[in-house]
Structure 1
Amino acid sequence: MRRTLLGLAAAAAILHAVPAAAQTARPDQARFRELYRELVETNTTLSSGSCTQAAQQIAARLKAAGYADSRITLFSVPDHPKEGGIVAVLPGSSASAKPILLLAHIDVVEAKRADWTRDPFKLVEENGYLYARGTSDDKAMAAIWADDMVRFKESGYRPKRTIKMALTCGEETTYAFNGAQWLAQNRPDLVAAEFALNEGGGGDTDGHGKLLVQQMQVGEKAVQNFRVETRNPGGHSSQPVPDNAIYELAADLGRLAAYDFPLEMSDTTRTFFARTGATRADAIGKAMVALAANPQDKAAEAIVNTDKAYHSMLRTTCVATLLEGGHANNALPQRAAANINCRIFPGHRIEEIQAKLAEVMADPKATLTAVPPVRPTAKSPPLDAKVMGPATTLAAKYFPGVPVIPSMSTGATDGIFLEAIGIPVYGVPGPWGDPDGNGVHGLNERIEVRSLMVGRDYLTDLVKAYADKV
């Protein structure tokens, strides 16, 4: 997971404001901190952790709040007993209103103690930040959703819509068991909803305490790896020939490097470029606005393409990421291969991109295959006013003067599996991060305490706004 960063410096005039009430510790915040601490300090890495344990701990809290066993589903599969998850249901009062789904993943990226300044699985607060693996990605959201479900039940809150929560494992590791995918394919009834709220959105700061923008992720690219391989009988290196597997692969990759997929825009990205560009006074900002108005404006495209994040938002991208070749220092190579990592613009099938790669490399002797797992075709959810409206209205309360802008992720989340079965997924605003990425997927991951607490209040009100309006 991560969202696309905006041109932050250009929007520095937008001030971050936090309601006074959010700055004062409350009893419910102390309880939340304990739930959050327990979740963060439960190791859920693939190598040595257990998502199943974390899910069971959340289940215990839900049962203590009054949920019947029939409203809680703990799931795993025999081959992956430690990669389980949980689905919980708070029934709504309306028989006709479709549910909403709160989705988050509870697995985290690996973290080596020797590399970290602090124990990555011990929550530490320093200088206004909370440090540990998963403090941001994605246990902040998972803890907020679980805390909401507990508080809603304890308070007797009865929403019009049924509220479902799915906390799953496997999002951070491509080849692991993926709980969201399993639910979509095996228990779609458990997660069926009109729409889902997920990671991928959130706020960006200038790194000095000013919140610049809140994003609503509306769509994401599909991730797919391909393997291109060249083969040759080889021979003794003392007698080289032009037909060389490594040279052939290099030529294929050279043609790929020179190719740029054509520009595309969705309703989301067109709105993103128009609104984000309007916040900037530089040449890129003006070009973004011009390109949103006329995607055929090649001069504007050339300027926007100088920003690698914006370039990626405008098209499918495919890039070589791994190489292998040869078998001995003194032998002509019999085989050479490369991994090509593609981030596919919504709406394009895997087979379509594979055919385009073959066309671009123009090498009938090479083999090109899709590397499992093969993910579903990415689908963009609608830029729906009933989703964007409440998020924008509440942002005016919690983040005065900060715009909420729809964006498309160039990365990936588990939302793609729900989109495949017809559930639109939105990465919601709320907690914010700094320009350096807050150590997500890297060393010394952190989240600002204000970000966590204010974001929690915002998301709680947002869930209620969606759940009470049919």
Structure 2
Amino acid sequence: MTPPPPDPPPGCPSGPHDTPHDTPPASRPAAPSDDAAARALTADVVDLCSRLIRFDTSNYGGGEARGEREAAEWVAELLADAGHTPVVLESAPRRTSTVVRIPGTDPTAPALLVHGHLDVVPAEASDWSFDPFCGEVRDGAVLGRGALDMKDMLAMMAALVRSWAARGIRPPRDIVMAFVADEEDTGELGAGFLVERHPQLFDGVATAIGESGGYSVRLPDAGLLYPIAVGERGSAWMNLTARGAAGHGSRPGGDNAVTALARTLTALSAHRWPVRTVPAVATLLDGLSQRLGFTVDPADQASLARLGEAARLVEATVSHTLNPTMLQAGYKHNVIPSEAVAGVDGRILPGAEDDFFATVDALLEDGVTRAFHNYAAPVAADHTSPEFAAMAGALRRADPEALVLPFVMSGGTDAKAFSRLGIQCYGFGPPGRTPPGFDAWSYVHGVDEQVLVSSLDFGVRVLEDFLLTDPRTASPEDPGTAPPRT
């Protein structure tokens, strides 16, 4: 028997409302006609998303989290009820992930990994207009922390498994689904643990999809761009340490660790990283220029501003960045400390690691050293591959006017862990379409997070289309072109 999700918080309804059904998550959808199956699938996604949000899976960092075990076990029961054999693994007490392999019709075909994270960033309830873990469905939206990041994707994954079981559908290749812990911190207790300790779960996997990509971005011409992530900047979280002579604070300054560190941080902050357009970003810029009728200059802020919402996809991925984020030195006003430490957050473009570290080292003051707190190399996948074309095709079948282009993420995801297994990782989850005025970026990690029911409907249709497509036999498409709007 599937364990129920937590009861709704006080003041919330006993279950989702304003949806076309109220099916308990343990019961499989019936096997109806295609139209009815589509409606049932969307209803199930809405229901599962609502119920997943009711698990408070807040990740506070530093190993402190809650709710991942309960959520992972609940998902595992859903998958088992659909006839599969999920594996539930714990990397540390209550830090739990669930993995399942859905057999395809061709066991010799390269397998696909679909991954999403169970954990969410914390929510300060006093800042919200509704309970962050209510999971209420109101005015055409599912409300709560994780609605967009990324329990919507998890709900799509689970709902598709249930729907395929009811309809007797098998994908063309094996699909491994991973519902993982800890992505909102380092990921080492989730995807990192699975990769290091249980790599056999991903045998035969050549490609992966996960967050973030396939969502709609409104262009200045009112058209919609659906970016697919084909890369991520690397993360270099480093501690810079300066050492000097300890002494009395009243003496003239000399070999002072604090001032040496301050000069280094000033030099690093003042450095202007040169613009560097990696191939995926160049393709994005070319596609936007062709569509909008002007040449986008990535070095010109005014030119980038003309892209509207799409500027966010470009501005942080045309150069390295490095920002000081933490400082620690001394213990008393009248004592010169012998050591000062700063934490810095460096982000590195794919293929340019050597350039980044050479520049950082050249800017370090004499006597200042660096050491990694955490390092994850950049990730890059092929935006000319049949897999990318299959994703683009699924989006265009749902929206014939879609402009689909590759982009590089400024931050990072669990793709950094899975890529260590040689898997080509894309950001394509969850796909979605939103109307004007709905700013999804402001909700992710923000206040009053919510996902539109219409976006869930669009997203699960696109995701199913892609998952049931064999990229080896799909018709080739140019992933970077679409007719200009008139």
Aligned to 1:458: 462
Aligned to 2:73: 56
1:345/1:205 Cα in 2 relative to 1: closer, same or farther (>3 Å)? closer
| TM alignment of 1:104-119, pairs within 5 A | 104-119=116-131
AA aligned opposite 1:191: F
Aligned to 1:413: 413
Aligned to 2:180: 168
1:355/1:22 Cα in 2 relative to 1: closer, same or farther (>3 Å)? farther
Partners in 1 of 2:153 and 2:182 — Cα distance? 16
In the TM superposition, residue 467 of structure 1 has moved relative to its aligned partner by 7.2
SS in 2 for 1:94: coil
Per-residue CA deviation, residues 327-352 of structure 1 (Å, 9 max, x unaligned), is: 22233343322111011112345x77
1:320/1:309 Cα in 2 relative to 1: closer, same or farther (>3 Å)? farther
In the TM superposition, residue 93 of structure 1 has moved relative to its aligned partner by 2.1
| TM alignment of 1:177-216, pairs within 5 A | 177-192=188-203, 193-206=205-218, 212-216=224-228
AA aligned opposite 1:394: A
AA aligned opposite 2:172: K
Bigger mean CA deviation after superposition, 304-313 or 451-460: 304-313
In the alignment, structure 1 residue 87 sits paired with structure 2 residue 91: no
Aligned to 1:319: 323
AA aligned opposite 1:437: W
Bigger mean CA deviation after superposition, 433-442 or 165-174: 433-442
Contact 2:172-2:469 at 8 Å conserved across structures: no
Partners in 2 of 1:189 and 1:24 — Cα distance? 34
In the TM superposition, residue 388 of structure 1 has moved relative to its aligned partner by 2.4
Partners in 1 of 2:266 and 2:197 — Cα distance? 42
Contact 1:327-1:334 at 8 Å conserved across structures: no
Contact 1:261-1:315 at 8 Å conserved across structures: yes
Partners in 2 of 1:158 and 1:369 — Cα distance? 48
Of 81, 89, 92, the match for 1:75:
89
Contact 1:83-1:177 at 8 Å conserved across structures: no
Of 154, 158, 162, the match for 1:146:
158
TM-score (normalizing by structure 2)? 0.80
In the alignment, structure 1 residue 337 sits paired with structure 2 residue 341: yes
Aligned to 1:8: none
Aligned to 2:387: 387
Partners in 2 of 1:466 and 1:199 — Cα distance? 21
Per-residue CA deviation, residues 297-343 of structure 1 (Å, 9 max, x unaligned), is: xxx56766887863431122111111222322233343322111011
In the TM superposition, residue 207 of structure 1 has moved relative to its aligned partner by 11
1:305/1:37 Cα in 2 relative to 1: closer, same or farther (>3 Å)? closer
Aligned to 1:123: 135
SS in 2 for 1:26: helix
In the TM superposition, residue 195 of structure 1 has moved relative to its aligned partner by 0.5
Contact 1:354-1:370 at 8 Å conserved across structures: no
Q: State the superposition RMSD in angstroms.
A: 2.8
In the TM superposition, residue 150 of structure 1 has moved relative to its aligned partner by 1.8
Aligned to 2:10: none
Aligned to 1:38: 51
In the TM superposition, residue 144 of structure 1 has moved relative to its aligned partner by 0.6
TM-score (normalizing by structure 1)? 0.83
In the TM superposition, residue 123 of structure 1 has moved relative to its aligned partner by 1.1
AA aligned opposite 2:79: L
Bigger mean CA deviation after superposition, 189-198 or 260-269: 260-269
Bigger mean CA deviation after superposition, 36-45 or 425-434: 425-434
How many residues matched?
Answer: 426
Of 246, 264, 288, the match for 1:252:
264
Aligned to 1:369: 371
In the TM superposition, residue 413 of structure 1 has moved relative to its aligned partner by 0.5
Per-residue CA deviation, residues 225-245 of structure 1 (Å, 9 max, x unaligned), is: 111122232333333324332
Partners in 2 of 1:75 and 1:469 — Cα distance? 35
Aligned to 1:428: 428
In the TM superposition, residue 407 of structure 1 has moved relative to its aligned partner by 0.5
Per-residue CA deviation, residues 160-200 of structure 1 (Å, 9 max, x unaligned), is: 211111110110012x6432111212222212312011111
In the TM superposition, residue 23 of structure 1 has moved relative to its aligned partner by 13
Partners in 1 of 2:36 and 2:360 — Cα distance? 53
1:467/1:280 Cα in 2 relative to 1: closer, same or farther (>3 Å)? closer
SS in 2 for 1:215: strand
SS in 1 for 2:130: coil
1:342/1:180 Cα in 2 relative to 1: closer, same or farther (>3 Å)? same
Partners in 2 of 1:125 and 1:24 — Cα distance? 21
1:104/1:146 Cα in 2 relative to 1: closer, same or farther (>3 Å)? same
SS in 2 for 1:32: helix
| TM alignment of 1:287-298, pairs within 5 A | 287-288=296-297
SS in 2 for 1:119: coil
Partners in 2 of 1:23 and 1:259 — Cα distance? 59
1:23/1:64 Cα in 2 relative to 1: closer, same or farther (>3 Å)? closer
Aligned to 1:134: 146
Give 1 or 2: higher helix fraction.
1
SS in 2 for 1:320: strand
AA aligned opposite 1:42: F
Contact 2:49-2:142 at 8 Å conserved across structures: no
Identity of matched residues, %: 26
1:353/1:236 Cα in 2 relative to 1: closer, same or farther (>3 Å)? same
Partners in 2 of 1:368 and 1:226 — Cα distance? 6
SS in 2 for 1:367: strand
Partners in 2 of 1:221 and 1:84 — Cα distance? 27
Structure ranking higher on relative contact order (CA contacts 8 Å, 6+ apart): 1
